[in-house]
A and B are shown apart, each in its own frame.
Chain A
Amino acid sequence: MINRRKEAIQGILYVLPSFVLILTFAVIPILMSGFFSFTQYNVMQPPQWIGLDNYIRMTKDPYVKASLVNTVIFTIGTVPVQTFLSLVIAAVLAEMFRGHFGGFVKSALFVPVIASAILVGTLWSFLLNPRGIVNLILQALNLPAVNWLGGKATAMFSVCLVSVWKNVGYFLVIYYAGIMDIPRSQYEAAKVDGASPIQCFFRITLPSLKSVTYLVVTLGTIWSFQVFDLVYNMTGGGPGTATQTLVLTIYNAAFKEYSMGYASAVAMLMFLFVLLINAIQKIFFREKEV
C-alpha cells in the first residue's frame, strides 16, 4: 500500500514539469482564445464582453474572406501536386534506385525541408525577381518575362510553387518509409504472376499506402491553413489581398491594430477548420477499418 502511494507520488513528480508547461502554454491559452473571441480587448483596458460581435464583423471583413478563398486556392494548388510528386518519386526510388544514387536524390530533395520558410522565401523572391534567374531562363527560351510576385494570379502561383518546392522532400520521406513497410514478398509474388512494375504500383503500392496518403493530404491541408512565414516574406499578403492568409490576418489584427479580441475570433475560426479536417480524416480512417 505504501509502495503504491510512493509510486504514484514519483509518477506525478516526473510528469509535473511538463504538466505545468502544457497547462500554461496550451490548455489555458486555448480557453483564453475562446474567451477573448467574445470580447473587445486592446491590452491596455480589460477585455469587454461583446457577445458575437467579433464573429459578425468577421463575416463582413474582406481580409477574412480573401484569406479563406486564398486558403482554398493554396490547398488546391499545393496538396495534389506535392502528394503526386512525392508519391511518384518515392515509388520510383524504391522500385529502381535503392542504392547510392537514390540516396543522393533523396538527400538533395530534402535540403529545402531543413531551410526556414523565411530563408526559402528570401531566396525565391530573388530568383523570381522581374530581372531574376527564372525570367532570364524564360527569355533564353524565347518566352515572355513574368512579373511573378507583382501580379495577382502569378503571386499566388509563385507562393504555391515555392511551397511545393520546399515540401516535396518532406512528403517523399514519409512515402518512402511507407513503401519500405510493404512486405517484399507481395511484389515477388506479383512478379512471378507476370505483373509489370506499373501494375504492381497500382495494385500493391498504392492500396498499401492508403493511410500514408490520408496523412500526407491531411497534413498538407492543415499546413495550408497555417501559411504565414512564406507570404509574410515574399508578398506581405499582396498584391492587394491576393496572397492574404488567415494567420497573416490574425497577426495584423492582433499586433498591428491591437484588436486582440477580433484576432482571437479569427484564430478560433482557424481552429474550427483544423478540427474539421482532423474529424474528416478520422471518419475516413474508421470507414477503412470497418
Chain B
Amino acid sequence: MTAIKRNLVRGLIALVLVFLALLAFTPFLYMCIISLTQKSTLDLNFAGVDFNFNNYVRVFKNLNIARNFLNSVIVTCGACILNCVICSMAAYGFSKKRWPGRDKVFALYLATLMVPGQVTLIPVFLIIKQLGLMNTHLALMLPILNAFGVFLMRQFMMNVPDDLLEAARIDGCSENRLFLRIVIPLIKPVIISLTVFTFITSWNDFLWPLVTCTNQNMQTLTLAISALKGNYSTNYGLVMAGSVLAFLPPFILYIFLQKQFVEGIALSGVKG
C-alpha cells in the first residue's frame, strides 16, 4: 500500500518536473520552427505553411549577419584566449612567487570584483575612446577580463605542490618552461571552466558592444539580434532565424561540454 502510494507520488513529481523541463526548452523549439516559416502570425497553425530556409538565406544575403557572426567569433575567441593567458600568468605570480606588496596587490584585485561593470561603463568608454580603440575587436575583448579569473586560477594553483616545482628547478627546468609544461597542464580543468565562463559572457554581452560599436560593420551578433527585432518586428521568421544563429554556438558547446559548462557558470557564483 505505502509502496504504491510512494510510487504514485514519485510519478506525479516526475510529471511536474517534465512539465518544467518542457517549459524551459520548448520556447527554443518554437524559435527554430518559426525561423523556418514566413508566417505573419505567431500561432501554431501550420496548415499550408511552407517550411524552408529562406529566412536564413535572407539574413546572410541582404543583412550583415555573416559579418556579425564573424565579429562575435573573433571577439569571443580573443577574449577567451586573452583571459586564460593573462589570468593564469597572474595566478602563477600570485601563488608561486614571493614579492613585496604581493598580498596588497591581490587585495586590490579582489576589491575590484565588488564593482559592477555598469558602474564603470562611462570611464571605460572614455578610456577606450581616448586610446583610439572605438569600433575595434580589441575594445570588445579588453573589459571582459577581470580579477575573477585571477582569483579562480590562484585558488586552483595553490594546490600545485611547491616540491614538484622545486624538483623540476633542480633538474634545470627554466622558469617559463616550468610554468608552461608543469603548472598549465595541472590546472587544465580550471582553464576549461574559465574558458566556458568567458565564452558565455563575451558571446552574450550586450551593453558594452552597444556603447562601443557605432560602426555597423563592427556589431556583434547579439547587437544584430536586437537591431533585427527593432527593424523587422513583424517579420517573425526572419528575427527568429537570426536568434537561432546566435543561440546555436553556445548551445552546441553546451551539448558537448555540459559538465564544464555547469561548473564554469556555477563558479561565477563565487564572484558575488
In the complex the two chains form, is A118's CB within 8 Å of B97's CB?
no
SS class, residues of chain A in contact with chain B: helix
A113 to B262, CA, bound (A): 10
Question: Which chain A positions have C-beta within 8 A of B122?
Answer: 32-33, 36, 250, 254, 260, 263-264, 267
Q: Which of B23, B92, B229 contacts A125 (CB 8 A)?
A: B229
Known: A27-B112, A129-B42. A228 touches B118 (CB 8 A): yes
In the complex the two chains form, is B10's CB within 8 Å of A96's CB?
yes
Q: Number of B residues contacting the other chain (C-beta, 8 Å)?
A: 85
Q: Which of A8, A119, A131, A165 contacts B100 (CB 8 A)?
A: A8
Question: Which chain B positions have C-beta within 8 A of A18?
Answer: 86-87, 89-90, 109, 145, 147, 150
Q: Does A110 contact B (CB under 8 A)?
A: yes
Q: Which of B31, B108, B207, B265 contacts A170 (CB 8 A)?
A: B265
In the complex the two chains form, is A267's CB within 8 Å of B118's CB?
yes
In the complex the two chains form, is B20's CB within 8 Å of A89's CB?
yes
Q: 0/1 per residue, B9-41, Cβ < 8 Å to A?
A: 010011001101111110110110010000001
> What's the minimum C-beta distance from A153 to chain B, rounded to whole angstroms?
23
SS class, residues of chain B in contact with chain A: helix
A247 to B12, CA, bound (A): 43
> What's the minimum C-beta distance from B236 to chain A, rounded to whole angstroms?
6
In the complex, number of A-B residue pairs with CB atoms less than 8 Å apart: 257
A111 to B214, CA, bound (A): 31
Question: Which chain B positions have C-beta within 8 A of A94?
Answer: none
Q: Hey, which bits of chain A sit against chain B, CB under 8 A?
A: 4, 7-15, 17-19, 21-22, 24-30, 32-33, 36, 43, 89, 92-93, 96-97, 101, 104-119, 122-127, 129, 131-133, 136, 165, 168-170, 173-174, 177, 215, 218-219, 222, 225-226, 228-229, 232-233, 246-247, 250-251, 254-255, 260, 263-264, 267-268, 270-271, 274-275, 278
Given contact pairs A14-B179, A24-B127, A119-B225, a sample of 18 additional A-B residue pairs in the complex whose CB atoms are under 8 Å apart: A10-B93, A14-B93, A15-B89, A22-B112, A32-B122, A89-B17, A92-B17, A111-B251, A114-B251, A115-B247, A118-B206, A118-B222, A127-B30, A133-B42, A165-B24, A247-B118, A263-B122, A271-B119
